[in-house]
Structure 1
Amino acid sequence: MAVVVGFIPTEVGFAALAAARQEAEQRGGPLIVVNVLREGVDEDPRHANDQQLEIARDELRGATVRVAFRQETVDDDIADVLLRVVTEEKAELLVIGVRRQRELARHLLGLTVQKLLLSAPCEVLVV
């Protein structure tokens, strides 16, 4: 069954990508890599440009499962986009990365992560 990874072009994002690849290969794939773009926001460090997507593709070359990349545009809620993709792909696992620089207890992992953990119709792996 499918594994979906929410990808951002950061150290944490690449760690999530590696974990998602491993999980997809163990589960028989495919691996769907999703980068969410905020509509109307040009300079967001979470938006992967062509070069960053190519680096991610290089990281996944040689994977033993099918790999697909999707860039989805959202005007509001990133979690809703990832949940929609999980449902569309009938994924059995969603992989997300969490920045470790922030104090986790402050907002109990942030609203997006909370929503994903509470609403995902599948297992969620937090890297």
Structure 2
Amino acid sequence: MSIIVGYLPTPEGTAALEAAISEARKNAKLLVVINSSRGDAFVDKRYAVDEEISGIEERLTKEGIEHLVQQPVRGNDAANEVLQAAEQHRAELIVIGLRRRTPVGKLIMGSTAQHILLEADCPVLAVKAGQEP
């Protein structure tokens, strides 16, 4: 059993990671960090650079948290990557970060968080940046 966190190098992604670390520490579960890209652009600001990923891995190792960090680039959207990881690792919890969006923005752009919330087979913890886990 595991905890899956959808990570982006943003304040929302950091908030999700912090909450997931807290949950993994409390429950001694495998923490699977998913940071994905569709691979459809030369530069994807949502895809963490090597230094960020190394920093996350070092921190988790230092804190004694069993972990796996994955950065898939398979043409899937982030929601599907998180949901696939949750199924593969038999997740007990998915943790995601939320950002504020206008109703029109949600209608036009869709919502990764909404997709995960509606499709997940396990509980989903949604956190906002600036809030304690």
Coarse TM-score class (shorter-chain normalised): 0.7 to 0.9
Does the 8 A contact of 1:8 with 1:47 survive in 2? yes
User: In 1, Cα distance between the equivalents of 2:9 and 2:95?
Assistant: 14
* Amino acid of the structure 2 residue aligned with 1:42: F
- Does structure 1 retain, via aligned residues, the 8 Å contact 2:4–2:32? yes
* Separation in 2, partners of 1:70, 1:22: 19
Q: Which residue of 1 aligns with 2:45?
A: 45
Q: Report the residue type matching 1:13 in the other structure.
A: G
Amino acid at match of 1:126: A
SS in 2 for 1:117: helix
Unaligned 5+ segments in structure 1 are: none
Structure 1 runs of 4+ off > 3 angstroms?
none
Give the partner amino acid of 1:40. D
Does the CA contact (< 8 Å) of 1:14 and 1:56 recur in 2? no
CA–CA distance in structure 1, aligned partners of residues 32 and 76 of structure 2: 22
Once the two structures are TM-superposed, the CA of residue 55 in structure 1 deviates from its matched residue by 2.7
What amino acid maps onto 1:118 in structure 2? L
- Unpaired runs of 5+ in structure 2? 128-133
1:3 positional shift: 0.3
Q: Which amino acid is the alignment partner of residue 55 of structure 2?
A: I
Give the corresponding residue for 1:20: 20
Identity of aligned residues (%): 37
Aligned counterpart, 2:99: 99
CA distance in 1, matches of 2:54, 2:76: 26
CA deviation digits over 1:19-39, x for unaligned, max 9? 000011122211011111122
Shift of 1:9: 0.9
Q: Tell me how far apart the structure 1 counterparts of residues 58 and 126 of structure 2 sit (CA, whole Å).
A: 23
Q: Deviations over 1:55-76 (max 9, x none)?
A: 3234434334301111111314
Alignment of 1:29-68 (within 5 A): 29-68=29-68
Residue aligned with 1:74, SS = coil
Contact 2:60-2:66 within 8 A present in 1 as well: no
